[in-house]
Structure 1
Amino acid sequence: MANLSAAPELIGAPYDLAANALLIAAVARTEVTETLATAGFRVRDVADPATASALLDGPVLDLVLLDARDASEPELEVLLDLLAARDASAAPALVAIFSAGQVDLAAPLLGMPHTQLLCDPGITELLGALLRARAESEGAPRARWTDITRDAEVARLRRLNEEVARIADALARLTRGELFDDEEDGRDGVLRAPEMDYRGPDEPVSEIAAAEIRAVIRSRRLRSQYFAAELFADPAWDMLLDLFAANIERRRVSVSSLCIAAAVPPTTALRWIGTMHEAGLFGRHADPGDRRRAYIVLSEKAVQGMRAYVGAIRRAGLGLV
């Protein structure tokens, strides 16, 4: 595809903009190029996935925008492996667009720093991702953008981890009467602040059946029949439950299947999968029979945390929700 650096007016962005972008697309869609210009990016080059690798190490770039929707899988397979192998912390920001049917192809990019994965985004959603990438390229604090960005999600996930660990610890100690012992010892506060890492159970946890976890998932989905689903959106916990059940069943879970389990739009699900991967709760296993696919699994830390939590719930006589 032709190099458009010498004629940026064809893209619609002023030539003197400081933010430079490489657009990788089999078909350069008008809405994508116009949104790039709106976000303040000048497209230095446009390349198709088969020839883009030669441009990744070219002139200084602030953004690589991959629009995979019109590309063939063999071309994308090579390019995605190349993008996943680069040093993302030193490379330009990456925004990758996939169609709903290509979600599993996004697996190599999950959890990479300065990377945003979108699934059939609208113009507003794409613009938000590009503005965030522009802010990163200029050194602006990432948390200044909207509360749906990964920074906000990381903070929310950290609070979720702390709350789950705190409840599990408190319930376990309550069943042993230790909370009252703490008060008698004159310690500050009723609840002891937990460590950030999960704590294992203090006593053996009885067998946990996958059917028990699946029943919880079904009951959570039933709420959407009576209330707006977005009122109860909790993709982190929904995915933890689904992967925990799959772990018990010794079943593999694809990226697309986990996106469905999250019960949120695919782009939001991909963002959360990346966040959970960064937090050390999810891992990624390649499919030995098809290198284009990867499966998402719980890390050992997450498995231990879920087992400890279920054990604490049972000892307290409560139900998992």
Structure 2
Amino acid sequence: MSETIAPALLAPATSCGVFIIATPDRLAALQQLVAASGARLLGAVTPGNAAARLADQISLDLLLFDASSLAAGEAADVAIALAGSMAGRDCRIVTLLDVASIDAVAGPMFDAGATLLCNPSPTELAAALAGALAPGGTRLHDAAREREAERLRLLNEEVARLAEVLSQLAADPANGVRDRSSGYRGEPLAEPDPDPRAVRSTIRARRLRDQHFAPELFADPAWDMLLDLYAARLEGRRVSVSSLCIAAAVPPTTALRWIGTMHDAGLFGREPDPTDKRRAHITLTDRAAAAMRGYFRAAERAGLVPA
């Protein structure tokens, strides 16, 4: 954290109370950051002492948990304990992690409603802290989140439209011929899933663009993650949080924010790893899978190659 923190990004003097959990080598820098924000430092402890100390802490506005220096197993245990102890408490959580600890920490921290920052710069960390400490009515304007919210709204509308089209196709075949008799009518056949190779081809075509244009020109993490999860569903594979972050083709912090947003929108689900209950896999909900199925079948019937 040697980079100078821009004062404009820090919150004004505030009475908010902050509690820090970090390894000894990280505590001093985080304490300095909290002091610069004008917040009150309620405590700063190492992960091993966090549970007992938090149990005695009655008032708490922000919990700052740094998992980036912890081994994956320890990070997972602390994250699970913190998620449990923070349940039902009106407390914001900012969690720092590195790429190696994403799978261990993301699941329980998502459940706790935490803001996740992967290898943040000091300026990014200061901005996240300022946003978390700002009063509800004076939160800092987050243009990136606003753009993502608008894109998610449009995505939700498209998912709903595709699901409706799929429902109509299943009930009424494309040729318009159906049995209108009043007798017994069997259940309509469900639209079949596409060949997973078609989905993978779409993903490869999207990544091919990155060899000729700057990747940020086509950044669309929501769609990239939907494609990856749908291909994995067809192949019977599980997708970890870190793997999905890679598929999103954006910085990990941005990908983690999108995963949380898509989960809140009912498009992504989470299921525990059967071999390690501390970890979680990301899945498509049935609603999202039905929309993806309808999209690929519609593209196939139109003779289009999805991009």
- TM-score between both structures, scaled by the size of structure 2: 0.81
| 8 A contact 1:253–1:295 mirrored in 2 | yes
Q: Deviations over 1:69-93 (max 9, x none)?
A: 2223443233211222355563310
In structure 1, C-alpha distance between the alignment counterparts of 2:36 and 2:231, rounded to whole Å: 44
Q: Name which of structure 1's ranges 164-173 and 25-34 shifts more when overlaid on structure 2.
A: 164-173
**Deviation of 1:140 (Å):** 2.4
Q: 1:23 aligns to what SS in structure 2?
A: strand
Distance 1:88 1:268, change over 3 A: farther
Structure 1 gap ranges (5+): 1-12, 179-201
Alignment coverage as a number of residue pairs = 279
| 8 A contact 1:111–1:273 mirrored in 2 | no
Q: Is 1:139 paired with 2:150?
A: no
| 8 A contact 2:75–2:101 mirrored in 1 | no
User: In structure 1, what is the equivalent of residue 151 of structure 2?
Assistant: 156
One of 36, 39, 53 as aligned partner of 1:38: 36
| 8 A contact 1:39–1:131 mirrored in 2 | yes
Q: Is 1:23 paired with 2:20?
A: yes
Q: Is 1:301 paired with 2:287?
A: yes
Matches within 5 A, 1:160-309: 160-166=155-161, 204-309=190-295
In structure 1, C-alpha distance between the alignment counterparts of 2:282 and 2:165, rounded to whole Å: 30
**Deviation of 1:132 (Å):** 1.4
User: In structure 2, what is the equivalent of residue 192 of structure 1?
Assistant: none
**Deviation of 1:206 (Å):** 3.9
Q: 1:21 aligns to what SS in structure 2?
A: strand
Identity of aligned residues (%): 45
* Code of the aligned partner of 1:21: V
| 8 A contact 1:110–1:270 mirrored in 2 | no
- TM-score between both structures, scaled by the size of structure 1: 0.78
Distance 1:269 1:83, change over 3 A: same
State the superposition RMSD in angstroms.
Answer: 2.8
* Code of the aligned partner of 1:221: R
In structure 2, C-alpha distance between the alignment counterparts of 1:177 and 1:89, rounded to whole Å: 54
**Deviation of 1:38 (Å):** 3.0
In structure 1, C-alpha distance between the alignment counterparts of 2:303 and 2:283, rounded to whole Å: 29
User: In structure 1, what is the equivalent of residue 184 of structure 2?
Assistant: none
Distance 1:307 1:42, change over 3 A: same
**Deviation of 1:118 (Å):** 0.7
**Deviation of 1:128 (Å):** 1.5
Q: Deviations over 1:27-63 (max 9, x none)?
A: 2354433332333322210111111012324131111
| 8 A contact 1:210–1:245 mirrored in 2 | yes
In structure 2, C-alpha distance between the alignment counterparts of 1:260 and 1:80, rounded to whole Å: 22
In structure 1, C-alpha distance between the alignment counterparts of 2:304 and 2:159, rounded to whole Å: 14
